[in-house]
């Protein structure tokens, strides 16, 4: 059975013992355990929903906000989607034992570079109970034991999901301690987890800059930061404006509380007179608050005035309507670096693709960036010039996701460059070792 509340060091020691057995588990056993988890999610959905209802009620009382509540919510459809993601992971190839490279040296030694599990992976995450299952399934399939540490806002949901996953995994033939949950403590507990050098091989924090900063202060265990996403969409001169509108709206509004949602829209000055008024109307209809630079505000004012005058209103009335608008506001310097995770979008007009690349380099978080263009040179310059885990041409930033990339699921999206960049899936949860075979070879 999964341990829900226990001293951190004890949980990690148990996970280390489990990891040694997991590293030797065959694919069939791991897949059977995952199939058991997927089935148990459906069979015990009522238990999960009851736990989630307690978290949702506490979240409303704490006034978490609609975006965070949406991230916290589980319903039958979402539970079914989580179970299906586990099934997709079952269908993927087992990375453990995969030969990355192999060759025979001139002296006759045979060298193979082979994928192996990391060992014990600790995942620290905020307000997304689905991560409990996604992370557990990915770690188990890749031969790793997992220690989960969710946020207090999802305490009951995470406990239920971890308990179900742990029990199903053990029933399927995996060792006790392969799935564990650390819960009930505060910063001290997080700090203790981050310093378990002898037992934890890697920590993956999945959350905002506050979580990242808290770990950077104390962690002695290696960390891969599945960090925040200040993502941009750049609409180039001559872009297909129908495509641009669809991509901007999807990137911003489909699910604004996630890290691959767009937070800033950049528009080339040549496209701005037509596109900015158009996209402002569409964003307004979707309930998005725009924080615009001076050029955006001027275009918004011109559009509002024109609409008022067409309706027979005076210039004074037109100006009054703009000053009273809550949906188009003046941007501050702080807006360009903000991950809103809400229906708010910073918008700027720039004079070139080079300026857009420079702006993204200054304010972006290295997560996901998109250009909408019909110019192949602009597209190529953007791909080469933007330093991010995922760079899109004529596509929404919302595709940055392990499931969408064919990984079944993901633990998070790494914005760093070592040892993983982008969605963290099965192969990213492995390291490698060299297997060298000889026939009495000695070095001269």
Cα 107 to Cα 66, 112, 264, 290, 439: the distances in Å are 65, 15, 57, 66, 10
Q: What is the mean pLDDT of the chain?
A: 92
In this predicted structure, what is the pLDDT of residue 185? 66
Residues 6 or more apart whose CB falls under 8 angstroms from that of 327 comprise: 283, 284, 287, 288, 289, 290
Answer with the residue of higher pLDDT: 6 or 340.
340
Q: Is the pLDDT of residue 175 over 60?
A: yes
Residue the block writes with tokens 């045979």: 110
Average pLDDT, integer, range 141-170 = 96
Is residue 148 within 8 Å of 132, Cβ to Cβ? Answer: yes
Residue 433 CA to residue 6 CA, distance in Å, equals 33
Q: What distance, in Å, lies between the first and last C-alpha atoms of the chain?
A: 54
Question: How far apart are the C-alpha atoms of 34 and 89, rounded to whole Å?
Answer: 8
Q: Provide the pLDDT for residue 371.
A: 98
Q: Residue ranges per domain, the chain?
A: 8-226+411-437, 231-399
pLDDT of residue 263: 98
Quote the pLDDT of residue 440: 96
264 pLDDT more than 70: yes
Cβ-based neighbours of 288, under 8 Å, separated by 6 or more: 252, 253, 327, 343, 344, 345
What are the backbone dihedrals phi and psi of residue 291, each rounded to the nearest 5 degrees, phi first? Answer: -105, 100
Host H or E run for residue 86 = helix 76-91
CATH superfamily, domain 8-226+411-437, is Aldehyde Dehydrogenase; Chain A, domain 1 (3.40.605.10)
Q: Supply the angle between the helices 294-310 and 272-285 in degrees, to the nearest 10.
A: 80
Cβ contacts of residue 384 below 8 Å, gap of 6+? none
| CATH 3.60.60.10 matches 231-399 | no
- Residue pair 409/91 in contact (Cβ under 8 Å)? The answer is no
pLDDT-based confidence at 314, cuts 50/70/90? low
Q: Could you give the CA distance from residue 7 to residue 181 in angstroms, rounded to a whole number? A: 11
Instruction: Calculate the dihedral angle through the C-alpha atoms of 321, 323, 329, 331, rounding to the nearest 10 degrees.
Output: 140
pTM: 0.85
Say if CB 22 and CB 53 are below 8 A apart.
no
Q: Which residues contact 25 (CB under 8 A, 6 or more apart)?
A: 143, 173, 174
Q: Tens digits of per-residue pLDDT, 89-139?
A: 999 999 999 999 999 999 999 999 999 999 999 999 987 899 999 999 999
φ/ψ region of 184 (left if φ > 0, alpha if ψ in -120 to 50, else beta) reads left
Q: What is the DSSP letter of 180?
A: E
Q: Per DSSP, which regions of 239-326 are E strands?
A: 262-268, 289-292
Rounded Cα distance, 140 and 148, in Å: 13
pLDDT in tens, 374-408: 999 999 999 999 999 999 999 999 999 988 998 88
Quick: pLDDT tens for 5-38: 448 999 999 999 999 999 999 999 999 999 999 9
pLDDT for position 325:
54
Q: What value, to the nearest 5°, has the Cα angle with vertex 48 and ends 42 and 52?
A: 140
Burial 183-212 (b: 16+ CB within 10 A, else e): bebeeeebbbbbbbeebbbbbbbbbbeebb
Q: What is d(CA 372, CA 350) in angstroms, rounded to the nearest whole number? A: 14
């Amino acid at each position: 059975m999964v341990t829900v509340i226990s001293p951190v060091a004890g949980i990690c020691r148990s996970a280390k013992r489990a990891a040694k057995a997991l590293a030797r588990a065959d694919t069939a056993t791991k897949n059977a355990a995952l199939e058991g988890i997927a089935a148990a999610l459906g069979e015990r959905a009522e238990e999960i929903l009851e736990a989630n209802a307690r978290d949702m009620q506490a979240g409303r009382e704490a006034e978490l906000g609609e975006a965070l509540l949406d991230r916290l919510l589980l319903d039958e459809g979402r539970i079914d989607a989580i179970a299906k993601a586990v099934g997709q992971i079952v269908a993927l190839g087992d990375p453990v034992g995969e030969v990355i490279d192999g060759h025979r040296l001139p002296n006759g030694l045979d060298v193979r570079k082979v994928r192996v599990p990391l060992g014990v992976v600790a995942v620290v995450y905020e307000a997304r109970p689905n991560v409990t299952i996604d992370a557990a399934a990915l770690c188990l399939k890749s031969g790793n034991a997992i220690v989960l540490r969710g946020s207090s806002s999802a305490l009951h949901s995470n406990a239920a999901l971890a308990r179900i996953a742990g029990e199903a995994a053990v029933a399927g033939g995996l060792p006790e301690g392969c799935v564990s949950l650390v819960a009930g403590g505060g910063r001290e507990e997080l700090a203790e987890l981050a310093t378990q050098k002898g037992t934890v091989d890697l920590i993956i924090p999945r959350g905002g800059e506050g979580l990242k900063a808290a770990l950077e202060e104390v962690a002695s265990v290696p960390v891969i930061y599945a960090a925040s996403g200040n993502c941009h969409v750049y609409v180039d001169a001559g872009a297909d404006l129908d495509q641009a509108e669809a991509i901007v709206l999807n990137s911003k509004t489909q699910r604004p509380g996630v890290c691959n949602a767009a937070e800033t829209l950049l528009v080339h000055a040549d496209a701005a007179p037509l596109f900015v008024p158009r996209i402002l109307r569409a964003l307004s209809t979707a309930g998005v608050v725009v924080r615009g630079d001076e050029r955006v505000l001027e275009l918004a004012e011109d559009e509002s005035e024109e609409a008022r005058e067409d309706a027979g209103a005076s210039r004074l009335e037109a100006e009054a309507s703009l000053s009273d608008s809550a949906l188009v506001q003046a941007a501050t310097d702080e807006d360009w670096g903000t991950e809103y995770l809400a229906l708010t979008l910073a918008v700027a007009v720039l004079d070139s693709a080079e300026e857009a690349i420079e702006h993204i380099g200054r304010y972006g978080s290295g997560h996901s960036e998109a250009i909408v263009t019909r110019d192949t040179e602009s597209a190529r310059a953007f791909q080469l010039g933007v330093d991010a885990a995922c760079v899109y041409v004529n596509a929404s930033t919302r595709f940055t996701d392990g499931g969408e990339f064919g990984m079944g699921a993901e633990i998070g999206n790494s914005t760093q460059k070592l040892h993983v960049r982008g969605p963290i899936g099965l192969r990213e949860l492995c390291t490698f070792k060299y297997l060298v075979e000889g026939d009495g070879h000695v070095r001269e």
